[in-house]
Amino acid sequence: MKNQKMQVKSKVWIEAGGEVVAGDGKINLLERIEEAGSIQKAAGEIGMSYRHAWGFLQKMEKRGGIKLVVTQIGGREGGGAKLTPQGKEFLRRYSAFREGLDEYIEKKFRQAFR
């Protein structure tokens, strides 16, 4: 088999009620909000509009049933933002879930297609 150039790809995400709650992209947004202390800055870092990022957060919170981010004095546009304790917990859990998963899939693929 000329499979030396074949590669495995994968995508994982969380759903609730048939709707996407989070995948690597949304988790990355949350991580950046926590680091930057601002939705605006976090969104800018990944080339996303503030409006888009805000919409993502609303959907994640609604679909997941978790309050993830609190915005601070200054309003939605001007003030800072940080993760709630539940938001941090969600990140920790997602990170534990993702840890080593790509490597496992890659290894399983290589074993089958070696």
Binding to a second copy by residue 101, rule CB under 8 A?
yes
Contacts of the segment 14-18: beta carbons below 8 A, 24+ positions apart: 14/64, 14/94, 15/63, 16/63, 16/64, 16/65, 17/63
Binding to a second copy by residue 8, rule CB under 8 A?
yes
Whichever of 22 and 43 has its CB closer to a second copy, that residue is 22
Pair 61, 93: CB distance under 8 Å: no
Binding to a second copy by residue 103, rule CB under 8 A?
no
| Residue 21: half-sphere exposure toward Cβ, Cα within 13 Å | 17
DSSP-assigned letters across all residues of 65-95? T---EEE-TTHHHHS-EEE-HHHHHHHHHHH
Whichever of 48 and 68 has its CB closer to a second copy, that residue is 68
Binding to a second copy by residue 66, rule CB under 8 A?
yes
Least gap, CB of 28 to a second copy (angstroms): 17
Span 10-49, contacts to a second copy by CB under 8 A: 10-17, 21
Name the site residues for a second copy (rule: CB under 8 A).
Answer: 1-3, 5-17, 21, 64-66, 86, 89-90, 93-94, 96-97, 101, 104-105, 108-109, 111-113
